[in-house]
Structure 1
Amino acid sequence: MSLSACSTINPYTGEKQTSKAAGGAAIGAVSGALIGIATSDSAKERKERALAGAGIGAIAGGGVGYYMDVQEAKLRQKLEGSGVSVTRDGENIILNMPGNVTFDTDSTQVKSSFRSVLDSVSEVLKEYDSTMLQIAGHTDSTGGDRYNLLLSQQRAQAVADVLSGYGVQAVRMDVVGFGETQPIADNGSASGRQQNRRVELTLIPYEE
């Protein structure tokens, strides 16, 4: 997976940019990626059986790029102005959902105002159902390690639950919390801590 190819669209200006935050998001996705579909052979086999049982097929190798290109374009259109950034890293797509637009302080309940954004994401995910999801929660360094780990897990699960409620199959989702271990900005500043409080959705093509 190439990190040098990361690009992102600023959700407020609409401008394409390559940033430290985008690179950090990709690194975070790499280090925890594909808990179900790309770990051990036995885990992969179990996941594949579950996907087949849900009627989800793999993408032929030659069609992966186009499949993800069209999906990325639709996500960028739907998420413009939402506060969610869209980053492309190789064939993966990363949606960075900042904590300040997704959750109230210290809350694990998705804001009611953000549910429409997740509804828009789910519409694309249901159309492109050969895409697997890693949903990863992250926090800043404020508070204890155990608290931050639990908070990140609960927030990631809350996003997964909302997507599931909108019809995205649970078998496609892996949920994980990283606590404060994968910052994308300096925790020494308020703006940096705000960037670190996030949920990242990494969309991974399910290939043959």
Structure 2
Amino acid sequence: MGVTLPIDALFAGESLRPESQILLNTVVGELQRYPNSAVLVAAHSDAGENAAQARARSFAQAQAIVRSLEATLGDSYHWVAVGYGQTEPIAPNDTAANRQRNRRIEIGIFPASEAYFE
């Protein structure tokens, strides 16, 4: 299970916007239902910059989300941050609206069970 959030609502560059906490609080509420879970935070960009810069920026954004969630929830979760850059678009990068769709954070929750963490 997971959630997709628009990067533009969360970030100004690599820094979290102050109002991003409103969106992240909804994620916190959901994560609290699954203590000790693995949480994958994946950041994606559009094709607006070179590939190496896009990967570096998206990784920094994923790490910022992890730091924010971890500060609220603690370290009882297993956190993974991934920056995909522009490698996994969900739409063609041919219009402003499609590029905006590609700039996203995907947060996946993998509930703890003996099968996952034995």
How big is the shift at 1:179? 0.7
Q: Is 1:192 aligned to residue 95 of structure 2? A: no
The gaps in structure 1 that reach 5 residues or longer are 1-92
**Paired amino acid for 2:52:** R
Q: CA separation in 1, counterparts of 2:104 and 2:6? A: 4
TM-score (norm 1): 0.52
**Paired amino acid for 1:161:** R
Quickly say closer, same or farther: Cα 1:100–1:116, change in 2 above 3 A. same
CA RMSD of aligned residues (A): 1.5
Structure having the higher Rg = 1
- Are 1:122 and 1:168, in contact at CA under 8 Å, matched by a contact in 2? no
- Secondary structure in structure 2 of the residue aligned to 1:155: helix
Q: Which residue of 2 aligns with 1:133?
A: 39
Quickly say closer, same or farther: Cα 1:170–1:97, change in 2 above 3 A. farther
Q: CA separation in 2, counterparts of 1:99 and 1:123? A: 20
TM-score (norm 2): 0.88
Q: CA separation in 1, counterparts of 2:100 and 2:74? A: 28
How big is the shift at 1:116? 2.1
**Paired amino acid for 2:3:** L
CA offset digits 1:67-107 (Å, max 9, x no partner): xxxxxxxxxxxxxxxxxxxxxxxxxx121011121112xx1
Q: CA separation in 1, counterparts of 2:75 and 2:18? A: 21
CA offset digits 1:159-186 (Å, max 9, x no partner): 1111011124265111111110000011
Residue 201 of structure 1: which of 103, 107, 110 is its match?
107
CA offset digits 1:11-41 (Å, max 9, x no partner): xxxxxxxxxxxxxxxxxxxxxxxxxxxxxxx
Q: Which residue of 2 aligns with 1:121?
A: 27
- Are 1:149 and 1:177, in contact at CA under 8 Å, matched by a contact in 2? yes
> How many residues end up aligned between the 2 structures?
114
- Secondary structure in structure 2 of the residue aligned to 1:182: coil
Sequence identity of aligned pairs in percent? 27
Residue 85 of structure 2: which of 167, 179, 197 is its match?
179
How big is the shift at 1:207? 2.2
- Are 2:37 and 2:77, in contact at CA under 8 Å, matched by a contact in 1? no
Structure 1 outlier segments of 4+, above 6 Å: none
Greater shift after overlay, 198-207 or 183-192?
Answer: 198-207
